[in-house]
Amino acid sequence: MKNVTILGATGSVGQQSVDVARAYADRIHVGCISAHRDVEALAHIANDLKPEYVAVTGVNADVEKLGTLLDYEPVILSGYDALLEACTAGKPDMVILSVLGIAGLPAFEECLRHKITVALANKESLVCGGKVIQRMIRETGTLVLPVDSEHSALFQCLNHEFDVTDVQNLWITASGGPFLRWSKDEIDHAPLEKALKHPRWSMGQKITIDSASLANKGLEVMEAHFMYGVPAERIKVLIHPQSIIHSMVEWRDASVSAQLGPVDMRMPIQKALLFPEMLENPCVRPLNFYEIGSLEFFEPDMEKFPCLALAFEAIRTDTTAVYNTANEEAVACYLAGKIEFGRLSGLIESSIRKFYTDKPKTISEILNLDKDIRAYVKTLL
């Protein structure tokens, strides 16, 4: 029986993690769950799974209301340190880190300190933590399992190893988002309702906008860079609208291994939760190759999608944390109607230029830099 904690249980990945845990109730015990503010959804999950610990991480969340919604008496964690406390509450074997944005970074650090296996759905933690987190993983020997479908695919193609000795290139596929066939001018002035209509996935607003700008693919490139130690020039992005091939590994001898699967996040979540076992997945409908027909592949247009080009620059200039924070602020501005879609990349680029020389060496310094970047982006408006 594996004791699992789900951080960010009410989000998209968190809820799908709950689905997988429920499907394997004879193998997975959920001992702790957390949410930022949505106490109603948190209580619903808690009443179903009966974890011993329930954490509310938002300082202004209605903790009293949570207590009235629960039909049993778990230990309720709340307040400023609730997220860190949730990492170790009940001594979990694995923590699913699906907290949104850089907020997950301190939790990632806490798990590494205690050598708790991390199922990583929060790519921003690795992108912002960069070399600091990379060093902690190496020094502690903590197992970090990818949950993103693309990185889970790479892990499978690498035979569940992180050894890239014989790898020529890593290929990460992208659907292309809603603006794949739009002109640059149309993209730059895209209305919010169009940007929020992803052709393949149903996700939260922030990640949906990132998918439309291909910033999300840029973040995945950075994640692959830090997770596998591969330089930027050996990580390739391939537009693949059908989203059947999730990633590929090109070997030194020119052969290629590809991972194919249905468009369903519960597959990579199951891979991580049950690792190293491979069992039937009752949550996922298998691929039907007779229905698929043809598969398309395109080279990404870096001029139409400058956020992707900037991601490679961020790796080369060691400004991945700057990229992530500036993008978070830029997307928030777009969602609030303060800027047009075309300004997203400009705010990121200006931030990279501004903080080019800042090289934080600790998690605390990274979090302080995060505050400075957010303040700077606001001045650009």
- Per the annotation, where are the binding residues for 1-deoxy-D-xylulose 5-phosphate? 123, 149-150, 175, 198, 211, 216-217, 220
Q: Smallest Cα–Cα separation from 52: which of 6, 107, 20, 97?
A: 6
Which segments are annotated as binding site for NADPH?
Answer: 10-13, 37, 122, 124, 204
Q: Are 182 and 212 spatial neighbours (Cβ–Cβ below 8 Å)?
A: no
Q: How far apart (Å, rounded) are the C-alpha atoms in residues 40 and 161?
A: 39
Burial class (CB in 10 A: 0-12, 13-18, 19+), 125: buried
Q: Estimate to the nearest angstrom the gap between the alpha carbon of 296 and the chain centroid.
A: 25
Nearest to 325 by CA among 37, 130, 81, 190: 130
CA 10 to chain centre: 15
Cα 315 from Cα 374, distance rounded (Å): 20
Show binding-site residues. 10-13, 37, 122-124, 148-150, 175, 198, 204, 211, 216-217, 220
CA distance 319 to 300: 22
Range 279-285, long-range pairs (CB < 8 A, 24+ positions)? 279/24, 281/23, 282/23, 283/19, 283/20, 283/23
